[in-house]
Amino acid sequence: MYIKFYEYPIGTVGIAETGGTVCRVVFGNGIPAGFTVKETPPLKRAALQLTEYFEGKRAAFDLPFACQGTVFQRAVWDALKAIPYGETRSYREVAASVGNPRAFRAVGMANHRNPLAIFIPCHRVVETGGGLGGYAGGLPAKQYLLDLEKRRPSG
């Protein structure tokens, strides 16, 4: 299990892989237990795609991902991947899209446990009233990502 840290407009982002698949994003430079700092070909590819995203040249990622979660969490993460670039959905709307409209708090917890922030775009989920809600990378990073997607059309 390997991790490499890269600098992006939102700060230091660690990208981790195991068995050739991207498995985690870490904000800051903390090394998760069991990981070794080393750049591997899958991490180089992921970092390049993230750079292209920040440059406005990429709206979707073409990488092998491995993330573990409950059936509900995986359903929420799939729903997040379906939110179009540059758009947002409320926690309530995501809950409805996974067949449980009253589970908006559980959607928030699934977002909180999203191991692949940015790649699985939990930043696109906001409060019903338009507030940002939370974000593992901090609210300034979430706002930056939303603004980035609004000013640069997908392509």
Annotated active-site positions, please? 122
Distance (Å, whole) CA 49 – CA 59: 9
* CB within 8 Å of 20: residues ≥ 6 apart: 42, 64
Distance (Å, whole) CA 8 – CA 15: 12
Which two three-digit tokens encode residue 33?
């237990």
One-letter amino acid identity for 119? F
Strand pairing report for 11-18 and 21-27: antiparallel
In three-state secondary structure terms, 92 is helix
Distance (Å, whole) CA 19 – CA 40: 11
Q: Are 106 and 72 in contact (CB under 8 A)?
A: yes
